Amino acid sequence: MVTDLAYLESAGAGYETTFTARVLALPPGGIVLDRTLFYPAGGGQPSDRGVVTGPDGRPLSIADVTKSGSVVVHRLGRGSRPSLAVGDSVEGKLDWDRRYGHMRLHTAQHLLSAVVFQRTGRKTRKATFGAGRGVIDVVGTWPPVETASTLAEAFASYLAPAREVRIRWLPRTEWEANPSARAGLVPLPPQVDPVRVIEIDGIDTCPCGGTHLRSTGEIGEFTLEPFAQAGDATRIGFALRTAAAHSERVTP
């Protein structure tokens, strides 16, 4: 049993909010579909939320989405009982404001990690984000020459003029023959082939299974927080300053 991860396919697929699918299984409290646009939590990006509507027209609230082996489980919100049967055709609809916020944060995180690497040679060990804010943990203590404001300035120079963000699928052998210098801190899982690579024009190339913007111009106003020590890493917090772009659905 496999769920087709329809949100991965192209830059445009990350901007789609409604889809049709067929019910493959109904585990307790959840729905497994043959395809989905709902992003399951992973790689620092929180899961999508939204609704799934079956043949009876009653929307079922999806509170959480997780990957389980080769399938995606859409977990129902409290009080939602599925009036569905295996084989039913359903319509799914994402909470777009939530998803678009995650896309802005995720592309911002790649760009921030790239700017940090470009200026200091330090790689990002871990990144997490959600609810308008995120953090990256950068290996090592911070060189005193960099401050949050010089970093923020360098970051802003990639927002205007905006840089294109592209998705490319590369055979694993091709990626491994020429990986980007910033990537490679966490090895790719053995089954990953081809490799989905996110490119920010002129600054970054990084393997990633998340959902991204098509342009850095959509990140919007952005704040960097003062650096903090987190064990043997430097933690940098970042936040979206403007919420306006959340509801602007960009037509592919």
Binding range to Zn ion, per CB under 5 A, among 78-86, 160-168, 204-212, 214-222: 204-212
Which is nearer to Zn ion, 52 or 111 (by Cβ)? 111
Q: How far is the CB of 208 from Zn ion (least distance, A)?
A: 3
- Out of 31, 71, 208, 219, the only residue in the binding site for Zn ion (CB under 5 A) is 208
136 near 154, Cβ under 8 Å? Answer: no
- CA distances (Å), origin 155, targets 118, 124, 160, 217, 227: 11, 15, 10, 12, 15
Interface segment toward Zn ion; rule CB under 5 A; list 56-64, 94-102, 202-210, 215-223: 202-210
Sequence-distant contacts of 7-11: CB under 8 A, at least 24 apart = 7/36, 7/37, 7/38, 7/39, 7/211, 8/196, 8/209, 10/167, 11/165, 11/166, 11/167, 11/212, 11/214, 11/252
Q: Which residues contact residue 186 at a Cβ distance below 8 angstroms, ignoring those fewer than 6 apart?
A: 125
210 contacts Zn ion (rule: CB under 5 A):
yes
* Shortest Cβ 198–Zn ion spacing (Å): 6
195 binds Zn ion (CB under 5 A): no
User: Measured from the CB atom, is 73 or 165 closer to Zn ion?
Assistant: 165
* Residue 29 vs 43, nearer CB to Zn ion: 43
We find the least distance from the C-beta atom of residue 31 to Zn ion, in angstroms, to be 26
Taking CB under 5 A as the criterion, which residues in 83-142 touch Zn ion?
Answer: none
Q: What minimum distance in Å lies between the beta carbon of 84 and Zn ion?
A: 33
Q: Compute the least distance from the CB of residue 234 to Zn ion, in Å.
A: 19
Cβ neighbourhood burial of 138 (10 Å; 0-12, 13-18, 19+): buried
Q: How far is the CB of 142 from Zn ion (least distance, A)?
A: 22
Q: Does 197 bind Zn ion (CB under 5 A)?
A: no
Nearest in space to 246 (alpha carbons), one of 210, 225, 221: 221
DSSP 179-242: --SS--SSPPPTT--SEEEEEETTTEEEE--S---SBGGGS-SEEEPPPEEETTEEEEEEEE--
Nearer Cβ to Zn ion (93/123)? 123
Report in angstroms how near the CB of residue 250 gets to Zn ion at its nearest.
Answer: 20
* # of chain residues touching Zn ion (CB under 5 A): 2
Q: Which residue is nearest to Zn ion (CB)?
A: 208
Judge whether 19 and 37 are in contact, CB under 8 Å. yes
Binding residues for Zn ion, rule: CB under 5 A, are 208, 210
